[in-house]
Structure 1
């Protein structure tokens, strides 16, 4: 896979609100496709494997879903085609909330905004927002490539992103950008920077075995 790290890093917009027992992690990106095409890519079980991974279950409002690849599951709590959906995200013994919002961009394409509300605790202290932020940012990169017809969007291709020099630079840059967003959103700057480095190490395959983001 070949990417331009600087360009892809500039395509994502990151925000963190670190306050109280939960923190809000938000990433957005504009993709070059109409809103209906983006909605289909985000919600159609036949399209999801092409960039994200398979989804099983009752994929409608009020239904339960499972993501076999990463082990997450939950309930779809809202579904308003083609602008937004929300769901509970249950993984690693935690229940969090996730929202996807779509809007037509004035300059063309569709702006996709993903918001994940996560609790504090040991995992947050160790990795900060980058644990989910880098993952969702990478998902938006894959979504954009999928909608452009690029086969490198496939999960099995994205899994090797860190093996390429530009891919590794992109992951490390994204992790550090999430550290900066964490500090700007209320986190301690030194702790945020340290958490960002742990996140970068995990996603580039350099983390110690106990460091699972």
Structure 2
């Protein structure tokens, strides 16, 4: 697939923050970008299980307010906010042995953009082990969400990404590398020291785009 990787990376605004969540003081990563689709279509793509599986991951559960969800091979949790077509909020729990401290929150907000487009903002808040944050920074979760928003963009444009082949393809590795670097810029803008940012970018890049065997 021929893709303007730099353009796709630059289409996303990234920022960091902190806020209190039930699990404690959480690190917050925010991604914001515009999609060339109306708000109802983007909402449906983000909430219909058949469509979610086409650009993200298969999802099961009682998919309604107060219900639960489970993404195949990934996170699950409770659906704690649902205001069609504007807001979806879920708890985010990864791993079978998760404790209360491991319960994060993911919030998706949609709003009308220019010329019929839709602005999507995704916020992921979680309590992060200081050692892990020091090693990988925001890219540990940010690169994954960049990939998800890319998948949604390709899907809304009528295409698909091969979830198995894409990450290890030359384009997939370049995308992950540039995403890691972009999160380094956001990390630095939040006030992190330059040496910490550089180490986090290097470690995150190696994790998502290791050198080919």
Using the size of structure 2 for normalisation, the TM-score is 0.88
Is residue 18–residue 182 contact of structure 1 (8 Å, CA) maintained in 2? no
Residue of 88, 91, 96 corresponding to 1:88: 91
Is residue 18–residue 187 contact of structure 1 (8 Å, CA) maintained in 2? no
- Structure 2: runs of 5+ lacking an equivalent: none
Distance in 1 between residues matched to 2:79 and 2:125, nearest whole Å:
15
Residue of 140, 165, 174 corresponding to 1:131: 140
Name the CA shift for 1:19/1:189 in 2 (closer, same or farther; >3 Å).
farther
Once the two structures are superposed, residues 165-194 of structure 1 have per-residue CA deviations (whole angstroms, 9 ceiling, x without a partner) of 343222111101101101211323321221
Once the two structures are superposed, residues 15-45 of structure 1 have per-residue CA deviations (whole angstroms, 9 ceiling, x without a partner) of 0125894211001111111100100110001
Once the two structures are superposed, residues 140-174 of structure 1 have per-residue CA deviations (whole angstroms, 9 ceiling, x without a partner) of 1100111111033xxxx144334443432221111
- Structure 1: runs of 5+ lacking an equivalent: 208-213
Distance in 2 between residues matched to 1:188 and 1:64, nearest whole Å:
39
Distance in 1 between residues matched to 2:72 and 2:170, nearest whole Å:
30
Asked if 1:179 corresponds to 2:184, the answer is yes
Alignment of 1:48-59 (within 5 A): 48-59=52-63
Is residue 2–residue 167 contact of structure 1 (8 Å, CA) maintained in 2? no
Distance in 2 between residues matched to 1:158 and 1:67, nearest whole Å:
14
Distance in 1 between residues matched to 2:163 and 2:31, nearest whole Å:
18
Question: Number of residues paired by the alignment?
Answer: 202
Residue of 55, 59, 76 corresponding to 1:73: 76
Distance in 2 between residues matched to 1:68 and 1:107, nearest whole Å:
35
Is residue 151–residue 160 contact of structure 2 (8 Å, CA) maintained in 1? no
Distance in 2 between residues matched to 1:159 and 1:10, nearest whole Å:
24
The farther-off stretch of 117-126 and 30-39 is 117-126
- CA offset at residue 196 of structure 1? 1.5
Q: Which structure carries more relative contact order (alpha carbon 8 Å, separation 6+)?
A: 1
- CA offset at residue 120 of structure 1? 2.7
The equivalent of 1:200 in structure 2 is 205
Give the alignment's Cα RMSD to 1 decimal.
1.9
Distance in 2 between residues matched to 1:19 and 1:39, nearest whole Å:
26
